[in-house]
Every structure is written in C-alpha cells, then in structure tokens.
Structure 1
Amino acid sequence: MTPTTRPQRGNLIANGTRQGRIRIAVVGSGPFGALHAETLGRNPDVELVAIVNHDGVRARALADRLGVNAAYESVQELLDSEPVDGITVATANAHHVAPSIAALEAGVSVLLEKPVALTLDEAERLLAAERASTGFVFPAHLLRFAAPYQELRHRLQIGDIGAPRALSFRRHRGIDHDTRFPDTHPALMTMIHDIDLALWYDGSRPVSVTAREVRVAGRSQPTAVWAEVLTDAGSLWSFQVSWSLGGRQGDPSLADALEIIGDEGALSLRLDPRVRSHSEADETVDDVLTPAAAHGAMEQEMRDFADAVRRGLPPTVVTLEEAVAGIRLAEQIVSSAAARQDSGPR
C-alpha cells in the first residue's frame, strides 16, 4: 500500500483540533504494554484500535482479553491498515526507536516509554525524525506526572528553599532486573528517572561526571552504580542505583528517596507505599504511579498524551529534547563508570 492510499486519520475542525475519540494503538503486549492498553481503555476520549507485537499470537491474545478489534505484527502493518492518530510504544528497550520513527514518518504522534533510546546516536536520530514530522514524541517520563514529584518542583519554583545547590537520589530495584533487562545499563533503565528529575528540578547543564559501578560475576549488568554530576551553576547531583534487592521489595528503609539542599533549607521525599495488602500475598500496593483502582500518574500521562494529540500540539510537561539530554547524561555516566570499574565479590 502506497502512502497516497494510507488510511486517513481523524478529521480536523477549523482550529486543528481533532473531532471524536482519539484513535490510539499500543505497540507491545508485555506487562507494560498491557498496562498502557488498560489505562487507555478507561479513557472515554480514546478509542483503543489495535495491539501491535512482532508475535502476532501474543498481540491477538491481549487484544481479545481487552476487547480490542485489531492485532498486527508491525507498526507498518498497522499504519497501512488502520486510521490512527497516535501510538504508545512499550516494547523491549532495544526496539523503541524503529516503530517510533515509522509512526513519525506517517505523521502519527508517539508516547514512548523510557529510555527513549539506548544510545545518544539513536536518540538524536529520533529527534531528527520528530523535527521532520507533523507528529511528535511524548516521552513517558512517568514521575513528572506523579503528585509528590510535582509538589517538590512547585516548592522549588516558589523559592521555598532558595536556589537548589545539591540534589541526592536513591533508587534500588530487584536482582531480577538483570535478567529482565540484560541489554540495558541501570543508568538507562533505573537511574534515568532521577536524571530526568535532576534536569527538571535544577535546570542547570551538566559539565562534569564522575561515576563508579560494581559488577558481580554471572550478571549482565552492574549491580550498583554511583554517580556525581557538577553543573554549570555549581550545583551537585548525586545518584545511587542498584539492582540488588531479593525477595520482598516493600522495605521502607530502601524506599525511593531524594533530597534537595537549597540556599535557605531543604526538601525531601521518600516514596513509601502507603497501602499494604495483609493477605496471603502480603504485598505493598502502588497507590501513586499506576494504582489499579484510582487516578494515578500513568492515567494522567495518558490523558495528557491524548489531549496533545487531539490539539495537534507537542507536549509541554516533558519534551523529546529533554529526554535526549537525559540520554546524553546517562551515556556519560555509563562511560565514566566503565572507565573506573570496580570488581564486586567473586
């Protein structure tokens, strides 16, 4: 099918806003792709038109479970078959860029999971594709949509603690991350959240990076990564990430945490789970980012994406340029850590 016969997307009214429900497809049918689809399915302004996965059986299974009519094995097949206004990409990390560029070349906007790319070269190629497209990329930097992190930024904006001088981040994840993400360095998979927050909160430009990592025999990626960044404003950013937790991960002593030291005080946040199920599962429940029965950060992120697609306007909460800046810093951290590699226990 040639581009001239490609299915037409949603009709436009005079001011460029799309009429009717926004037609969105989900690319990826793993756990996070399913979460995207379920979240979009709760939005009355969205018509979830298709599930896409290179494994057509898995795509069809998720589509059937959620009552979605169509399933495809590639984004190109989707674009050639369905009128679609936007896609969300929740594939394996190594497969983020190709489907996003295919959509952009068709003028279709993309909500793209983090990391938007695994290398700076790929990220810049994606940015070039966006600049040449009538569509846009909406980086899925989920924490920017979470109320606790938004409150911290508001406090900084009103000068609650003066200018930020030092930012410290801690984020520990399970040992299983090494097998789940064997192709992705923790700086790009886990630390990227805090890199984005540092860029968002401080607004300064990194000028020097020092990092170290600990590797353990038999694992694909570092078990721990520590990094310090000095900015052009003289502020200091500190990042601590590990893939080291075994068993239950609800221990509040290891909750995600950050501190911001300013001229006139400090701000701090610990993202402790506030809900726990004291049942046979005995588990903590996420009530902030992706709660099962409440409006969380992902729900807001998806609503903002649908609204941006409807208006035909690029996102303002987070831009692809900002995401590329985060990839650039993450790549510098990876390079610095590799140059100073430490050996873990054998």
Structure 2
Amino acid sequence: MSIHVAVIGCGGMGRSHLNGYKADPRAHIVGVADQSEEAARKAATDYNVPFYTTDINALLDRPGLQAVSVVTPNHTHIDVTPKVAARGIHALCEKPLALSVEDARRMIDAASRGKAILAVGHVLRFAPPIAEVHRMARSGELGRVVNFYVLRMGTASAFLALSWGRERRTLGGLVRTLNCHEIDVLRWIAGEITHVRAEMAHLMVEGIDYEDVAWMAFTFEGGALGLIGQNLVHYLGNHYYEIMGTEATVRFRTSGPITVAGKDRKATERPTSDRVAVHEQIRCFLDSVEAGRVVAPLADGVEGLKGLAIIDAAYRSAETGMKERVVW
C-alpha cells in the first residue's frame, strides 16, 4: 500500500521526518512546505519531491494526500495542525503538541471532527534503550518502580540559532519544549503523575526570556517519587536516566547500552539496537494511517495534552512555591 505523505516545515527536524519517510517503502512523499521558499525548494530537490510551496493550503490540496508531518515552530502548531485535520488528513505533530492545554484540546477536537489521526512526536518512546526499559517495566523485571532521576544538561546554542527560539511566547520555555520528552517517557514507564514541585530560574544565558535552570520533583499515582534536572548552563553536556524498582535499577541514555543491577548489586551491561528513533516513529505513524487509529507506542493527542498539563503544574509550582496538583 502506497501512502501519500507530506512534510510541513523543512528545517533540521523536518528533514529527519523526510529521512524517515524515505526509509519506509510505503511512503510516497508528494510535497513539502515551509515559510521559506528556499528551504522548501532545497528539501524538494534533496529528497526528489515533486512539489514545494510556502502556502500550506496549496500543499493540503494535493490530490490523494493522506498524512502530514507538522514540523513547524512550536507556537504555530495550533494554527497548522487543525488545518490538516479539517481536511481529514492524518497528522503527526512535533512536540510539544501546543503551548497550552487549551490549544491542545482544540487540536484534539479538530482531529475528531475531521475523523483524522492526531499523533505527537514523542520520539524517545522509540529510542532503543527507552523501549527496552519500558519492556522491562511491563514484564515485571524492574518490580514496582519507586524512584527515578533524570539529568538533561547542555547549552542554549540550538535555541539561540532559531529565529523563534529566544522567546517564551514562541518556544514555550525550556521545560515545555524539552522536558515534555522526559515527562512522556516517565509516564509511559511508571504511570500517571499527580503532583509536581518545581524551582526554575533564568540565571545566565543572555538573549532568552525564559528559564535556563529547572528542577522538578514528581509524585506518581502509585506513590513513586522522581526528579528531573534540566539546564542550559552546562558546557560539557549530560543526559541520562536512572530508574529504581523493587527488583532492579537501570541506568541508561537515549542511545547505547543499558546498565542493570539486581538485588545482588552486580551491574551488567545490555546492548540495544542501533535503530533510528525517528525512523521507527515514522514507521509507527504509517502503521497508524493503515489501521485508522494511533498504534502503540506512538503517542496520541491525549497523551500530548496530559504531558502539557504536568508541565503547566510545574510552571505554577515555580510561581507559587507550592506543590501543585496536575489537572487536565
């Protein structure tokens, strides 16, 4: 079955989606769009795509178009994705789904009215180490998850390079644009988060108007506790996870081997595959288009909304200094 697809947004992540479609023989890329005509033209040339435009409606008018990746600046998701859904075209929207829970709900409603799939690009579900830890949790190998710890640290260079990456109104803030990944991973592995306590500050990075350091403590439905540390002030960079269960502890990154220790406290390394997470996500999106529903482990719009509700609670906590309940 050939699935006619298109990509809106031809920057670095848009090209990752194009690579994913090129890697799947079911996908026939019929067009690309970008606000920059040069970027759209170059993507069309590089990927041998027959049509490019700066007009989203012109792209959506392409005959037989079935599915679209929305890979545009964060603040534009609410404008672009409902236009896709209104045509009955299935959408894979990059994370964060929106900049507010209210906008996410509008996007979900638009997809429902258009009888279209709405999926969210929580791509770390497809990272081989994370997929393996999810399997371990579901199989009982970890036992009951009781604690987790995540560090994600680096610099602001990627955001400063984006025309829309310097302001909260367009990016959404550091936690909303990056930690939506970690929060989705932890919900997927450990269950729902009920409360958040957060501290955030803008301490060092010039040229941005949002937090560059954040710490968030989470309480889960089952009683587990966890912590995420995130910043843009770490010149060496670091990104890793530790999850502790009653039967085993695991330490891992988004690629490479997993370190596992059981009750004997002997650490062993387990290799993981070298599959490309974005390609696996695109494959699952195409599976979903064929099935007419979002196929696991792809995240749907409701999953994206729940993550945003947790992030909203974190921002509220940073303002009030209080532990905040998650509401969606």
Q: Give the TM-score, by structure 2 length.
A: 0.85
Alignment of 1:73 onto 2:54: yes
Question: What code does the residue aligned with 2:317 have?
Answer: S
Alignment of 1:89 onto 2:89: no
CA distance in 2, matches of 1:70, 1:29: 13
**Structure 2 counterpart of 1:227, from 213, 216, 219:** 216
Asked whether the 8 Å contact 1:142–1:298 carries over to 2, the reply is yes
**Structure 1 match to 2:194:** 207
Report the alpha carbon displacement of residue 273 of structure 1 after superposing the two structures with TM.
Answer: 6.4
Question: What code does the residue aligned with 1:311 have?
Answer: A
| Local SS of the residue matching 1:48 | strand
Asked whether the 8 Å contact 2:146–2:245 carries over to 1, the reply is yes
Q: 1:311 to 1:270 in 2, by over 3 A?
A: closer
**Structure 1 counterpart of 2:27, from 46, 61, 66:** 46
**Structure 1 counterpart of 2:173, from 161, 185, 204:** 185
Asked whether the 8 Å contact 1:52–1:75 carries over to 2, the reply is yes
Measured on the aligned residues, the alpha-carbon RMSD in Å equals 2.3
**Structure 1 match to 2:245:** 262
Alignment of 1:301 onto 2:281: yes
Report the alpha carbon displacement of residue 320 of structure 1 after superposing the two structures with TM.
Answer: 1.6
Alignment of 1:216 onto 2:203: yes
1:78-105 deviation digits (Å, cap 9, x = unpaired)? 1223320100011111111222111111
Q: Give the TM-score, by structure 1 length.
A: 0.80
Asked whether the 8 Å contact 1:177–1:243 carries over to 2, the reply is no
Q: 1:28 to 1:178 in 2, by over 3 A?
A: closer
Q: Which consecutive unaligned segments of at least 5 residues does structure 1 have?
A: 1-19, 275-287, 342-346
Alignment of 1:238 onto 2:227: yes
| Local SS of the residue matching 1:222 | coil
Report the alpha carbon displacement of residue 186 of structure 1 after superposing the two structures with TM.
Answer: 1.4
Instruction: Name which of structure 1's ranges 256-265 and 187-196 shifts more when overlaid on structure 2.
Output: 256-265
Asked whether the 8 Å contact 1:138–1:315 carries over to 2, the reply is no
Alignment of 1:59 onto 2:40: yes
CA distance in 1, matches of 2:230, 2:303: 21
Asked whether the 8 Å contact 1:175–1:245 carries over to 2, the reply is no
1:294-322 deviation digits (Å, cap 9, x = unpaired)? 74111111111112112322232122211
Instruction: Name which of structure 1's ranges 225-234 and 313-322 shifts more when overlaid on structure 2.
Output: 313-322
**Structure 1 counterpart of 2:186, from 170, 173, 198:** 198
Write out aligned runs for 1:147-162 (5 A): 147-162=128-143
Asked whether the 8 Å contact 2:142–2:246 carries over to 1, the reply is yes
Question: What code does the residue aligned with 1:55 have?
Answer: S
| Local SS of the residue matching 2:211 | coil
CA distance in 2, matches of 1:114, 1:271: 17
**Structure 2 match to 1:146:** 127
**Structure 1 match to 2:301:** 320
Instruction: Name which of structure 1's ranges 316-325 and 331-340 shifts more when overlaid on structure 2.
Output: 331-340
CA distance in 2, matches of 1:270, 1:255: 9
CA distance in 1, matches of 2:295, 2:83: 20
CA distance in 2, matches of 1:78, 1:184: 27
CA distance in 2, matches of 1:304, 1:114: 16
**Structure 1 match to 2:100:** 119
Identity between Structure 1 and Structure 2 (%): 22
Q: 1:163 to 1:94 in 2, by over 3 A?
A: same
1:185-223 deviation digits (Å, cap 9, x = unpaired)? 11111111110011111113x332110012126332211
Report the alpha carbon displacement of residue 58 of structure 1 after superposing the two structures with TM.
Answer: 2.2
Question: What code does the residue aligned with 2:200 have?
Answer: E
**Structure 1 match to 2:261:** none
1:258-311 deviation digits (Å, cap 9, x = unpaired)? 11122233222134669xxxxxxxxxxxxx99xxxx741111111111121123
CA distance in 2, matches of 1:264, 1:36: 38
Question: What code does the residue aligned with 2:177 have?
Answer: M
Instruction: Name which of structure 1's ranges 182-191 and 148-157 shifts more when overlaid on structure 2.
Output: 182-191
Asked whether the 8 Å contact 1:185–1:334 carries over to 2, the reply is no
CA distance in 2, matches of 1:166, 1:272: 21
CA distance in 1, matches of 2:254, 2:39: 34
CA distance in 1, matches of 2:250, 2:275: 25
Asked whether the 8 Å contact 1:178–1:221 carries over to 2, the reply is no
Q: 1:42 to 1:264 in 2, by over 3 A?
A: closer
Question: What code does the residue aligned with 2:218 have?
Answer: V
Question: Could you say which structure has the larger radius of gyration?
Answer: 1
CA distance in 2, matches of 1:85, 1:46: 10
Report the alpha carbon displacement of residue 40 of structure 1 after superposing the two structures with TM.
Answer: 1.1
1:95-135 deviation digits (Å, cap 9, x = unpaired)? 11222111111110011111111111111111111222221
